[in-house]
Amino acid sequence: MSARAKAVGKEVVSTDLAPAALGPYSQAIKIDGVLYVSGCLGIFPESMKFAGDSVEEQTDQLMKNMGEILKAAGADYSNVVKTTVLLADIGDFKVMNGIYAEYFKKDPPARSCFAVKDLPLGAKVEVECIAKL
C-alpha cells in the first residue's frame, strides 16, 4: 500500500475465499468506516469457473463471494446499505431478485439495477455493494 493510501486511511480488503480480482483493482476498500466491494461474479474462487450457466447459479455464487469479502472486513449482509446489480439480460430480473432476496431478508439495502450489453467473462449477473462498518 502506498504512503498516500495509508495517510488517508485506505485499507485493501481481500480474501482467498472469494475470486481474485480480474484486473488492477481490489476486492474491496475500507475507508472511514465504509466498505466498498467491487463487482462480484458467480465464479468459484478455487477454479475461477462459473458456478453454472443459469442466472440462479451465478447469483447465488456471487452472493456467497460477496459474503466472504464482507466477512474479511468484519461485516456481513446486514451492514450493506447499497448495491448495484448489473444484468446481461433484464429478462433475468425476477429470477435474480428471488435469489438476491434470500441474502437480504430484513431491511434490504437501497439498490440500483441495470441491463448492460456485456459483463466480464460472459457473466449473466454482477453485483457490487457498499457497507457501513
Annotated active-site positions, please?
A: 113
CB burial of residue 104 (10 Å; 0-12, 13-18, 19+): middle
> Coil, helix or strand for 35?
strand
| End-to-end Cα spacing for the chain | 21
Helix (H) or strand (E) holding 108: none
Whose CA is closest to 125, among 15, 39, 35?
Answer: 39
Question: Which amino acid, residue 97?
Answer: N
